Chain A
């Protein structure tokens, strides 16, 4: 570990000195410094935002090497570590299956002391997403004394939170909205109606599925393969980003095995017809894959697994999913969500 850290530090040392004004690609800067690791540049911090640049470079690199399942991140502009584009694949066996949601993530200059913000570019009907796409999730809120917010203070931002923990919170929020402080009241009311009717009132899931479908169509137009099974969803890119691939490569196009094409719905397909046969295998695979990823990921994946288990095998997948997330939403109301 210490060797890793030292190398990482060296990368960042060089990165920091150049990031502010360089026209070079951030990736090549990082990579170049790694190959010349014999140099004695270690830590030279002084600029006010040096912590931010350092933390972001470190996180970005780590997410390229070991992505969070279901997410892809890239810099909007290679020269600017403070604005990221995030692509979220809807988790299989949820309402969001097949969906491909794009968002922008903006980091403040005093990151990691203050949280980033996230805005969806794809339309998302969700109790915690504002009309303009701004995501409202407590982990992204600075701790201000605000008893009115209805949020659990324990979920707030602190400097040890990072993009990885945020993304995991986002994926869990998708299926377990927080209805205590809705950003979209209509969506919240609709969601609760669906939940409280045990899935009989299905206006909410219908809208979500429609949006996921539309997003899937959009993804296709862009040539992006959206993972449709848990196995593919949890699959890590086999190749490690090497010298040139880091930031420049179009990371959307080849991370997933082409076999998944078979599972893709066409625009008028029903989502719920496949993956029943292989459910056990899927679960096993995803669990073992997740182990590499630290406990938080495992926990998140485990919870999504358990939901999948509830859904698998049921023809009316939507109603079952409704029960599952209704249950967990109730749980989350009582205490901590994670």
Chain B
């Protein structure tokens, strides 16, 4: 008998359920200084948090369910788009046309359409043009509500995973260089990108940011040398619109001063 994947998955699901009951999909904005208490007594992290506090004021936590990068990215980027109508319109156009590309790449149309439709619905619901003077705060609330509704939130994650997978396929030759081990791009997409709950690596971030044309800065809070937090911009040299903090295994959203 082969090892039962289902049993491993079942145990994983149970852990996830615990996480799920204790953390919202996306939290409110919290003062970044909360990390100080979290890592009290840890000299390396404390020094780095001090450094981080010079540049950022708030953090917004995402549920650690393996989808955190995608969820954090989507939330943070839409938050930016709410305040920038031109960029919003451009993104909406790109999102609209992404479906046909993915169908061409061989995803089943029937289900893809459903994911795409929900994705577009989310984008439309935060259209900056549709709100009056009190605009952005209202949209902000709407966005927050949508992202904490599992149905919508997860469909957005799925669709971003598909866009990421599509990009990897489109530029397979380039991305093959990033893949460790004997995976082909094809295998990697199906195994590490498309399925839910699969954690993201640099390659996911690069592919998604490139596909969407959005700059992301990731601050790495880890045990690396020095007392400063190292940042990395994706794609390299781009102007960041989304700021994320990475702690081993997890991404949250950051808000610069």
Contacts and interface: CB of A to CB of B under 8 A. Distances in A.
A48 B113 CA distance: 22
Contacts of B195: 113, 142-143, 156-159
A167 B108 CA distance: 13
Contact of A142 (B5, B109, B151, B186): B5
A181 interface: yes
A51 B155 CA distance: 8
B152 interface: yes
Contact of A141 (B5, B107, B115, B162): B5
A154 B154 contact: no
B5 A45 contact: no
A6 to B, nearest CB: 9
Interface in A117-160: 117, 141-146, 148-150, 152-160
B110 A162 contact: yes
A5 interface: yes
A159 B197 contact: no
Contacts of A152: 187
Contact of A160 (B151, B162, B198): B162
Contact of A113 (B8, B117, B191, B197): B197
B121 interface: yes
Nearest to B187: A153
A233 to B, nearest CB: 22
A5 B197 CA distance: 27
Contacts of A165: 108
B191 A143 contact: yes
Interface stretch (A54-62, A70-78, A273-281): A54-62
Interface in A18-50: 43, 45-46, 48, 50
A228 B194 CA distance: 39
B223 to A, nearest CB: 25
Q: Chain B at the A interface: mostly helix, strand, loop or mixed?
A: helix
B149 interface: yes
Nearest to B188: A153
Nearest to A5: B117
A209 interface: no
A189 to B, nearest CB: 16
A148 B3 CA distance: 8
Contact of A161 (B108, B121, B149, B191): B108
Contacts of B152: 45
B154 A51 contact: yes
A51 B150 contact: yes
B191 A153 contact: yes
A46 B111 contact: no
Contacts of B2: 148-150, 181
Interface of B: 2-3, 5-6, 8-9, 13, 107-115, 117, 121, 149-152, 154-155, 158, 162, 183, 186-187, 190-192, 194-198
Interface of A: 1, 5, 9, 43, 45-46, 48, 50-51, 54-55, 58-59, 62, 110, 112-114, 117, 141-146, 148-150, 152-162, 164-165, 181, 294, 296, 336
Given A144-B8, A148-B2, A156-B195, 15 more contacts: A43-B121, A50-B151, A51-B154, A51-B155, A110-B13, A113-B195, A117-B6, A141-B5, A143-B191, A149-B2, A153-B191, A159-B115, A162-B108, A162-B110, A294-B110
30 contacts: A5-B114, A45-B149, A45-B150, A51-B150, A51-B155, A58-B114, A113-B158, A113-B197, A114-B13, A117-B6, A142-B195, A143-B191, A143-B198, A148-B2, A152-B187, A153-B183, A153-B190, A154-B190, A158-B190, A159-B195, A159-B196, A160-B108, A160-B111, A160-B112, A160-B194, A161-B108, A162-B110, A162-B111, A294-B110, A296-B108
